[in-house]
Chain A
Amino acid sequence: MSVTPDSAVATVPPRAQPPGGRRRISRVNAHKRREARTAYVFLAPWFIGLFVITVGPILASLYLSFTDYNLLEAAKWVGWDNYSKLFTVDTRFLTSLKVTTIYVVVSVPLQLAFALGLALALDRGLRGLSFYRSIYYLPSLLGGSVAIAILWRKLFGSDGLVNALLDVFGIQGAGWVSDPDTALGTLILLHVWTFGAPMVIFLAGLRQIPQSYYEAAQVDGAGKLRQFRSITLPLLTPIIFFNLVLEVIKSFQSFTQSFIVSSGTGGPVDSTLFYTLYLYLKGFKSYEMGYAAAMAWVLLLIIAGLTGVNFLASKYWVFYGDTK
């Protein structure tokens, strides 16, 4: 179709004017206008919220990212200084990027694999499925919370439950959360443990694959593994893609876990210094709010870039049933 809406309108033959048509039209228009006004009145609270609480601060932070702003004095314009400092002199910024990247690259695939595995197990028609689904979903609801982060610190402390368990087997445990070599690992584990949300989405995806495909495959003599590789996985790729995009964005913005587990420092030795935690430390602990604002915009660009790459790459591996 190459017909534009305008030309489409033009090709419609003018209808015969009914008596009093002009007035009728104007009444219809008046009614429409009134309806629109009503809609805007009802939307007003949301619009006010959007502009005052969201768009305003976003623009303000864009402005602040070009200033030297310590919260106590007025902001001073410094141009691109904050941005160039980030990539030239600030080694902690690079550390935080590295830590966050490792966290995302390791924990997201692990978490998705785990979620998919459990979804497959649950999809076999277990009795009490909804019960298990709720149980496994629970960590997702709790995983980002402060309480769980505190629990994690206790579990993996040198006198924690994990070491007590290892002790039973005669293994001398480490101070998992306070040793720079293992601290990030405990946070990755915490993230993998919150597999519930992608699992539920996977389950829904599995339900949508027509049973007839499997039956046909069975007739052709395909085994379970072959069925998984040739039917389940390809038909599930849109769901995997969706989960991947979501989890990458979410985990790049992780904050609570490292904030609580490291007592707000990103330690030991910056081994859990997440990007957002460093941003927070710059803004509220060193009073470099302009710098923190610049970091927030760089984070936005990074996430937008990653999501873009994800979408571009999806062409090569995501299979939508209706296209060839």
Chain B
Amino acid sequence: MKPRMMWTVALLSAAVMTAAAGCGGGSGDKAGGDKIHLRFSYWGSDARQKLTEQVIKKFEEKNPTIDIEGDFSNWESYYEKLATKVAANDAPDVISIEIRGLSEYAGRNALADLAGKVTTGDLDQQVLTSGQVDGKQYAIPSGVNTFSMLVNKSALDKAKQKLPDDKSWTWDDWINLAKQISAAGNGVNGAEYNYNPAWLQIFAAQRGEKFYDGNKIGVTPETLKAWWGIHQQLIQTKGSADAAKSAELISVGPEQSLLATNAGAMGMWWSNQLNALSKASGQELTLMRMPKTAGATTGGMFLQPSMFYTASAKSDHLAEAGKFIDFLVNDPDAASILLSDRGLPTNAKVLAAVKGKLPAVDQKTLTFIDAVKSELSPIVAPPKGALQMEDILKRNSEEVLFGKTTPEAGAQKFLTEANAAIAG
């Protein structure tokens, strides 16, 4: 081959390689000129992506010098991608995070203190506190949820059961009701259980225990055993499906739950899942307070920030990042697009402005939250390692419910693993 031709080929292949490399990392500074470029990472459904694109457009209209790029991912891989980006010094400027991941990222200096960057005066102050780690406001809540009992009233009617009074019902009442519904034999399970740490947190609070007590797990082995006792009773009385079928149900999303497919009458879900569950089942679902332990002085329920907006500590444009977060939580224009997609807004003024636009299901949630508000327990950001809690609890619960270990040993093992996770 002639030298000249050789170099041509070599240069060509080099050009192709650079071009190919360019395709891979195309998320760079594509906005030219003197615009400030920000990246905003979030997770969720296609519907959320559409809403978010709209809200970004609105913000760019109001702030023509800022250009925002949505960095969207599905929930399953969100934290993997986020951690990899942070590790590669390529963190998005504005980061969505949920409460379990907050301490992990804030405690490892990945997030910026937002004090003074975002106006927080009109937000629910108690919920706002949950965005603090070591006294610094790293995170601004996007909205709130509450973990509650969803009940399909028509399924109860069919089984000739009355809707119980949720102010006074106990776990025994609930188990009994589930048993009656299953026994009525309409092919409907009374209840489906889960291993959600939120449920255990509520259950523990009713017994005067905190799930996270500082940097330790505050739940006692007795509470865990009592909690698994509820699961076991449900299985034994056929109030719920058996352990294997239930394990299967837990691993699929709310859309395939018994409640959503009209094969179950009661289930515990976050209030913002009411929408999806109502749509899937085509039934009217009622939000109810969680049952109580007999003699409990508190219901243990709490308002959970659905997600937080945070800013990367490495961002070059912190002021603009703050401005965008401010817009998302304080501007009625943003709220009238997002509505309750990221939880019900906690800004009282914004909420008043968009209240009329909320769909009927959200109105119902709002009424419910208002009604239970005075009974709610405060919430604080859990320590580092909380991201793993759901897996640890699920694994150990299954071990007990499949009879692979005794509740006694299972409780000890859970506490050991959970404490190790938050200590690390």
Contacts and interface: CB of A to CB of B under 8 A. Distances in A.
- For the residues of B in contact with A, the DSSP-based class is helix
Interface string A31-58: 0001000100110110010000000000
A286 B3 CA distance: 54
Contacts of B1: 38
Nearest to A174: B244
Contact of A180 (B14, B245, B402): B402
A70 B84 CA distance: 10
A41 B244 contact: no
- For the residues of A in contact with B, the DSSP-based class is loop
A263 B14 CA distance: 41
A217 B409 CA distance: 64
Interface string A109-143: 00000000000000000000000000000000000
Interface residues of A, number: 34
Contact of B86 (A72, A268, A269): A72
A38 B1 CA distance: 9
Contacts of A284: 79-80, 83
B348 to A, nearest CB: 35
Contact of B247 (A38, A73, A175): A175
B105 A72 contact: yes
Nearest to A160: B248
Contact of A268 (B87, B105, B108, B398): B398
Interface in B126-184: none
A196 interface: no
A265 B391 contact: yes
Contacts of A267: 247, 251, 394-395, 398
Contact of A264 (B9, B76, B247, B248): B76
Contacts of A286: 385, 387-388, 421, 424
Contacts of A70: 108
Nearest to B3: A34
Contacts of A307: none
A13 B298 CA distance: 104
Interface string A54-84: 0000000000000000111100000000000
Interface string A258-283: 00001111011110000000000100
B239 to A, nearest CB: 17
B254 to A, nearest CB: 14
A188 B84 CA distance: 33
A38 B6 contact: yes
Nearest to B387: A285
B101 to A, nearest CB: 10
Interface of A: 34, 38, 41-42, 44-45, 48, 70-73, 157-158, 174-175, 177-180, 262-265, 267-270, 281, 284-289
Given A34-B3, A41-B10, A45-B17, 6 more contacts: A45-B13, A72-B109, A158-B244, A158-B245, A178-B244, A284-B80
